[in-house]
Structure 1
Amino acid sequence: NFANFMFKMAAWLYTGSHCMFSEMIHSMADTINQLILAWGVHQSIKRPDPNHPYGYSNMRYVSSLISGVGIFCFGTGLSVYHGIKGLVHPQEIESLYWAFFVLGGSLLSEG
């Protein structure tokens, strides 16, 4: 997902396409989501200690909640902001050849 994010960012910077921006944000959110969930799983396997006598097993659920709420709020805010910006200040789109090339590559890598 991080590689997809980087390629989509390069395609967005080259084309100026709002759809590529949206795809870039989607890949970035997926990457951050996976990092948060991996951290939660890593924390949940820790053994109980004097400060946490019941252990850390609920961390996987807490990290899932943080991840879900974060993606919802971040994705909604950026989508609304960039959509309004695109309507208020439209720009001419460059060739979409590289955008479609990158989207095809991400389809293969994520599929």
Structure 2
Amino acid sequence: MAWFWLILGGLFEIGFTTSLRFVDGFRNLPWTLAFLASVAVSMALLEHAARTIPMGTAYAVWAGIGAIGTVIVGMLWFGEPATTVRALLILAIVACIAGLRLTA
């Protein structure tokens, strides 16, 4: 179950990095509240998962999910380049996360 919470925490990390794009110096209240809620949930789920999963592994997986998701959100919704090299690098991160999962 810890892996489920860790993955969910990584998804909330995508939420807080995406919200951060819109906070406008923390003057945009709805996006600031979304950012703060996403950070709180994400960190709480990381902490909960790290009670069972080694912290180094948990953090690397959590950060990897957030990084991959943020890049994908950027490509799909914000017009960031979707190149072959970026896709290969995303796959490399996924492979590393899978490797950590297999060794944990």
Q: Give the TM-score normalised by the residue count of structure 1.
A: 0.36
Q: Give the TM-score normalised by the residue count of structure 2.
A: 0.38
In our comparison, the structure showing a higher alpha carbon Rg is 1
